[in-house]
Every structure is written in structure tokens, then in C-alpha cells.
Amino acid sequence: MISSNNVNIASRSVLSSPGAIRSELPLSLDAVLKVMSARQNICDILDGKSRKLMMIVGPCSIHNPSEAIEYAERLRQLSDEVSDRILIVMRVYFEKPRTTVGWKGLIYDPDLNKSYNIEKGIFIARKLMLRIVDIGLPVATEMLDPIIAQYIADAVAWAAIGARTTEAQTHRQLGSGLSMPVGFKNATDGTFQTAIDAIATARSEHSFIGVLEDGHVGVFRTSGNPYAHIVLRGGGNQPNYGAEHIAFLKVAMRKAGLKPCIVVDCSHANSGKDYRKQHIALEDVLDQIAAGEDALCGVMLESNLEPGNQKISSCLKPGVSVTDGCIGWDETAALIRHTYERLGEIHGAVAPVPEPAPDSPR
């Protein structure tokens, strides 16, 4: 029979519904409370109610769950050391946007061999997220496919919308309905307006089509996400975290009716795509905070057990990224402790942010 539909579809298969997978791998009550508490702590930072610095730290992408757990256990111990000045959130990224082609992340190809066992990838990803939450770390991830969000979002404390998708109406609508703070990255050319538009859009009400818990297609109506904010990642191999960039961005955000609340991604173009230069961006951010800049509320570091990166092969080096280059654990720990010391010096020189009265609206 001649058909005009699905001409380029090689095969199709049924995927278990979000509700079915979440029922098989549920968040415990303790985990739910941990996720909600972490989200509130992040919101307090974005609101200026907490002077802690949010540090989103972890691998560019997860490809080995056991190595990710080892990393999480180390990071949790370090998080406990610095928790009075720093809120550490672990990068747990399973979806990788590609400029052309390449490995798209553990959810899509968990065996790293182009077999694309997506259902297996979703199970592995969710199980790992639950384990990291149980360890005691908030989880951060990029929301790339709107359908995948239904399978994992309940375990996520902070979400990112990447530079390639910030302009998409689909992702702005998704951000408006997500239950956690969402950071929109600036455009790949380094400009800010696309992200500013995205934030304003995500803070608004929307109606859109999506997948329900039972797997059926449904209509979602959102109330808007008041904690959409901007993440600076540089552009065109040029950084955009300097004081002059921050000043310009603050003016642009205020003109758009948005409170400036800025996270700096120390990797990507802000490091010239050289993982060994992430510390330069971090130090500049700390210098700006020391000079009184209060719009800077967080930083992101791409970090793994071992430094560098490698191509996917049959013989992978343990603890080394298979996507972007990352700093190793030793440098990660040193930079976090250095940040903690600098914040101690800064907080000793400025008046603390007053705590809201018990009956004040949050």
C-alpha cells in the first residue's frame, strides 16, 4: 500500500510511559524532601535571601554510572566542608546537543556503540539520579528533549536550557512548567538578548502539547516559572563574564523588567574551550563579588575524576570525559576550597543579608 507518512522512519517501538518508569524507580519520601529543600535553597540564592554562592560542578556528560557515583561521594564530602558559604549542585548531564552528529548522551546510547537502547538509558539515568540524591547532593541537568523531562524532572534541583535551544519556543514553554529553577544560556555568539527573551517567556503562562504520566498526549497549561534566570557561557570563543559584560547585562535585564541574577559557566567559550582555563573565569567572578557585585549568584565548572577528555573507543580511560575536556578532581577540590576561603574574606568585609521576618512572604 502506498503511503505518504513515515517515509524516512526505519523502525518504531513502544516506550514505557513516564509513570510506569517512575513507579518502578520511585523517589522515596526522604529523597522528595531533599529535592524540595535543594530547590528552595537555590531559590533563596536567586532571590538574594541567601548570600551563598551556588557552584554547579561535575562532568560535561555522564557515560559511566559507577564513576559518577564515585565522583558524587567525593563531592558530597567536600560539600559538607563548605556548606555554610557554598551550595554545591552536581552536574548530572545525560543529553548532549550536537552541532552536527556525535554521541548524544547516556540516555540515547547507554552502551556507547550506536545501539540506541533509549529505554535502557532512561532506566540507568533515573536510577543514577536517585542514587546521587540519596548520597545527599542536589542534581543539575540539561533539559534537551521535552519528553525525557517527564521521566527525570522530579529528581532535579536545577535545570539548564542550552545555548542551541534557548531560542526555541518549545524549550521556553518547557521551562515555564518545570518545578525547579531553570537557567537559560546565552546564544552561541555570546549575545544576551535571546536568553533575556527566553527568561521573560518562561516566566509567563503557556499552553502546549506534551506527554502525560500514562504516556498519552495531553495539553499542559503552566503558571510560569519565576526562577528562570541567565547563564553566561561566552560565545565565538570569547568570554562574556567580565565586569563590563555584567554591567551591560544588568542594564538590559532591568529594561526587560527582570531582576539581574547571573550564573557564569566557566567552561565553553568562557574558557576558550580549554578546560585548563576555567579557573581564570572563576577568579574573575570572585573578584567581582569582592568588589560588591551582587548580581552574580553562581558558577559552573566542568569537572571529572581525571582531567582532559577522550574519544569513545573500546578501551576507555577511567574517569575521563568522552565529551568536553574537564578539570580533574584534585583541581576541582582546590578551586572549591579556594572559593570558600575567598567568600569568607568577602563576607567578613560586607554586611550580611538580613533574614526575612518569620511572617514575611517568601
Instruction: For the domain made up of 18-347, give the CATH fold.
Output: TIM Barrel (3.20.20)
Lookup: cell for 333: 577540590
Which tens digit of pLDDT belongs to each residue from 299-338?
999 999 999 999 999 999 999 999 999 999 999 999 999 9
- Where residue 224 falls (left for φ over 0; alpha for ψ -120 to 50; beta otherwise) is left
Tell me what pLDDT residue 352 has. 45
| pLDDT at position 44 | 98
| Separation between Cα atoms, residue 117 and residue 107, nearest integer Å | 8
Q: What are the structural domain ranges in the chain?
A: 18-347
Confidence of residue 97 (pLDDT cuts 50, 70, 90): confident
Say if pTM beats, i.e. exceeds, 0.85.
yes
Rounded Cα distance between 188 and 195, Å, is 11
